Amino acid sequence: MQTRLKGWLTCDGEFFVGPRYIRLLEAVDVAGTIRGACDSCDMSYRTCINRIRQMERTLGAPILDITRGGSEHGGAKLTPLARRLILVYHEWHKAIVEASDIAAGKLLRA
């Protein structure tokens, strides 16, 4: 038996990040723009930019290095902090799924 967990993180009781927003950051890395990432994640630009701003407020540091200039000259790149957040999130999520699988297995054997 395997468990399925979304894995949301909160900070001081407020939602911080979950799988959808990790996918957004990964999409920024691929697309090179926030708008392109929003399109590939099927999310509105407003939702994306608000979530990015909230993550930055929570972390107290930028997660994107943004170059303004429109579709031809602008762009967005992940900061080292964003890359670390993605890596740590995936490691954490893998660990909680493994722990959940073990607990579910114990329940079934009981």
Q: Which of 52, 8, 22 is nearest to 34 (CA)?
A: 52
| pLDDT band at 70; cut points 50, 70, 90 | low
On average, the pLDDT of the chain sits at 91
Range in 7-11, 30-34, 75-79, 84-88 with the lowest mean pLDDT:
7-11
| pLDDT band at 12; cut points 50, 70, 90 | confident
Q: Which of 35, 3, 26, 39 is nearest to 78 (CA)?
A: 26
What topology does CATH give the domain 9-109? Arc Repressor Mutant, subunit A (1.10.10)
Q: Residue 78: enclosing H or E segment and its boundaries?
A: strand 75-78
| Domain spans of the chain, in order of start | 9-109
pLDDT reading at 82 higher than 90: yes
Q: Which of 87, 85, 83, 81 is nearest to 62 (CA)?
A: 81
What does the radius of gyration of the chain's CA atoms come to, in whole angstroms?
Answer: 17
pLDDT reading at 110 higher than 80: no
pLDDT reading at 87 higher than 70: yes
